[in-house]
A and B are shown apart, each in its own frame.
Chain A
Amino acid sequence: MPTTDELKQRIESALPGAQAQVEDLTGGGDHFRAEVVSDRFTGLSRIEQHQLVYGVFGEEVGAAIHALSIKTSTP
């Protein structure tokens, strides 16, 4: 079962320089919310920014990670 720390580290290592805050919405280890700040988002549409974060987890989103709510911004 993924933990908030694991998700945070995976986002930050996949998107160098990014800062992520991950919250377990239900305490059940499968519904998460991630707030990610990265300069990689500059010039991307919101949907492309979210796809970049979803891309870190591939097919785990919808499987082990039932739901991942995302908020993205640039520094």
Chain B
Amino acid sequence: MESTEIREFLEQAIGENEVMLFLKGTPEQPACGFSMRTAGALNALGVRYAALDVLPDQRIRQELSGLSGWPTIPQLFVGGELIGGCDIVMEMYENGELAERLGVEMPEDEDIEPAPTQAEMPVSNGPIPLENRLNN
């Protein structure tokens, strides 16, 4: 797959998914603490989101940072717009801005648990497994 195809795929993923998370690993098995906390915030709010693991191909990350202007992973997009990485998402989670932006209520228990396993996650609220078409 060419780099331009990867970029087109990423642009499409960001455009078509209202809440799109790029992370290392998966929401169920994050491969990095920053990715885990960011997915954990979305899980705690019970929003549906699409997720893409950037690890299978180094070019995913290069192209993503190229189009977002953001150097690190994770990256959260809402409505096609970059919200930020772990620090910003956590800050927005804690002050309620993230819930407001996503149009959901803050959970009563504000402690963020590590990303729950799939079995614990309500089916209707679970992340949408985004087909990773970047794998050949």
Interface residues of A (CB under 8 A from B): 46-47, 50-51, 54, 57, 59, 61-62, 67-71
Contacts and interface: CB of A to CB of B under 8 A. Distances in A.
A64 to B, nearest CB: 12
A67 B72 contact: yes
Interface in B12-63: 34, 61
B83 interface: yes
A70 B82 contact: no
Interface residues of B, number: 16
Contacts of B122: none
Contacts, number: 33
A54 B87 contact: no
B87 A47 contact: no
A51 B86 CA distance: 14
Contacts of B72: 54, 61-62, 67-68
Nearest to A70: B87
Contact of B71 (A47, A59, A69, A71): A59
A20 to B, nearest CB: 15
B109 to A, nearest CB: 25
B65 A62 contact: yes
B70 A46 contact: no
B130 interface: no
Contact of A50 (B61, B65, B88): B88
B69 interface: yes
Contacts of A70: 87
